[in-house]
Amino acid sequence: MSSELTLKQRIAAGPVLCGPSLVGMSPAVVECAGLAGCDFVWIEVEHSGIDMMQLEHMCRAAELHDVLPLARVADGSRPSVLRTLEAGAKIVLVPQIHTPEQAAAVAEYGKFPPLGKRGYNTGSRGLGYGALAPTPAEVFETANRETVLMVQIESVQAFQNVEAIAAVEGVDGLFFGPGDMSADMGIAAQWDNEELIGVGERVIQVARANDKIASSTCPTDEMARRWKAAGVNMLIAGGDLGLLRLALVDKLQQIREL
């Protein structure tokens, strides 16, 4: 077995990684994120029109700029998880995971034996077109070591099951989704609500206690501070189109006030 640190271990070793959520369907957006100094990019497949070919090109751009490509898939189905890994995403984030059984299915679809039952195809882009390792056994080991599977904790049911979900072998990380969680709690977008923040802190703490990566987004500076104090490993630093809109609003105001 390899003595190298896994991707999960390298992320967990710190410092906190930061990157944007991207819905723009261009590798140029990924390149700009890399040139800005981002550690990773969140390629948003669930809430955008990004297709598999666009995802593949965006993963290429990320790798060229030494940025980790993270893709949030549309759902936890086998095709969503498998095809995203085959396209070259290093981190696959699966939304709407509420039970340990659902989390176990993600591990089954996304990890090779002995951790899962990922489909056998050593010639995909995600596996280096067959050049990742010289033997199938080494391909399996390298792929399992160099990819990360994360599941989203974004419902009251998921929070009730968070300990069991965090214990699932093959799941490498937990992502706390404050948006959907706040809606499910009946306090939608109340980012300063102490109950919501407490839930997020608990998810992060459970992840770290179970040797998992902890990640989240931070709509407010206070939330970012609380997540970092709780031990978060990865933080989403805004979204491409939202940041573009705000920058344009500021620039237009400056011009109109001249």
Transcribe 14-48 into DSSP letters.
SS-EEEEEE-S--HHHHHHHHHTT-SEEEEE-TTS
Q: From CA 108, how far away is CA 114, in angstroms rounded?
A: 10
Give the end-to-end CA distance of the chain in Å, rounded to a whole number: 65
What is the Cα Rg of the chain in Å?
18
Transcribe 101-119 into DSSP letters.
HHHHHHHHHHS-TTT----
Residue 77: Cβ-neighbour burial (10 angstroms; 0-12, 13-18, 19+): middle
φ/ψ (deg, to 5) at 185: -85, -5
From the list 47, 57, 65, 98, the catalytic residue is 47
Residue 247: Cβ-neighbour burial (10 angstroms; 0-12, 13-18, 19+): exposed
Is 47 catalytic? The answer is yes
Type of residue found at 242: G
Contacts of 152 (CB under 8 A, 6+ apart): 93, 94, 95, 96, 97, 158, 174, 175, 176, 177, 180
Cβ neighbour number for residue 28 with a 10 Å cutoff: 11
85 touches 144 (CB < 8 A): no
Q: Which residues are catalytic?
A: 47
